[in-house]
């Protein structure tokens, strides 16, 4: 009998220290799964109602310093229009570098003899190009 009481005491001590789980799994039941709240998918900005157009397709200058204006327009568009004068820096300059109002007016100034294509872009990547030519004649005809 003494053996049974010693075994019972050992089992009671083992169970008191957390060793008796009753088999299988033990512990508290798992908490319910909570899915994260989905974030809304942003809707794309509406595209403009038409193409980006320029008031002129070409400009011809005969002297450095001459200026001309060009208007960029796009139906149902209220974003920015920007020229890319990087390919025309020796031939002509354009101001402003960015226009926020449509129709937007730009001033083209002849710099030196040559020809280039001056593209204008809207924020959707639409493009309209302006051909610029500068022919400088020196001297007088007799």
Residues sharing a CB contact under 8 Å with residue 91, sequence separation 6 or more, in sequence order: 110, 111, 112, 113, 114, 115, 116, 132, 134
Q: How far apart are CA 66 and CA 109, in angstroms?
A: 6
Residues sharing a CB contact under 8 Å with residue 58, sequence separation 6 or more, in sequence order: 130, 131, 132, 133
32-50 CB burial, b ≥16 within 10 A, e <16: eeeeeeeeeeeeeeeebee
Which residue in this structure is represented by tokens 């083209």? 108
Q: How far apart are CA 35 and CA 116, in angstroms?
A: 58
**Domains of the chain from N-terminus onward:** 53-134 (2.60.40.3450)
Q: What is the mean pLDDT of residues 110-124?
A: 97
Asked if pLDDT for residue 29 goes beyond 90, the answer is no
pLDDT tens-digit series, residues 71-89: 999 998 989 999 999 999 9
- State residue 82's pLDDT score: 97
Q: How far apart are CA 137 and CA 126, in angstroms?
A: 36
The residue with greater pLDDT, 140 or 9, is: 140
Closest Cα partner for 109 from 80, 81, 85, 139? 85
Q: How far apart are CA 48 and CA 81, in angstroms?
A: 13
pLDDT tens-digit series, residues 87-101: 999 999 999 999 987
């Amino acid at each position: 009998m003494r053996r049974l009481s010693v075994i019972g005491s050992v089992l009671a001590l083992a169970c008191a220290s957390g060793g008796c789980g009753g088999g299988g799994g033990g512990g508290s039941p798992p908490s319910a799964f909570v899915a994260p709240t989905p974030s809304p998918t942003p809707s794309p900005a509406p595209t403009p109602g038409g193409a980006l157009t320029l008031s002129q397709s070409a400009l011809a200058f005969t002297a450095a310093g001459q200026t001309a204006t060009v208007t960029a327009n796009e139906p149902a568009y209220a974003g920015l229009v920007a020229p890319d004068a990087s390919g025309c820096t020796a031939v002509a300059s354009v101001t402003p570098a960015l226009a926020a109002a449509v129709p937007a007016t730009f001033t083209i100034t002849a710099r030196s003899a040559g020809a280039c294509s001056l593209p204008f872009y809207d924020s959707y990547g639409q493009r309209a190009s302006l051909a610029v030519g500068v022919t400088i004649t020196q001297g007088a005809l007799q």
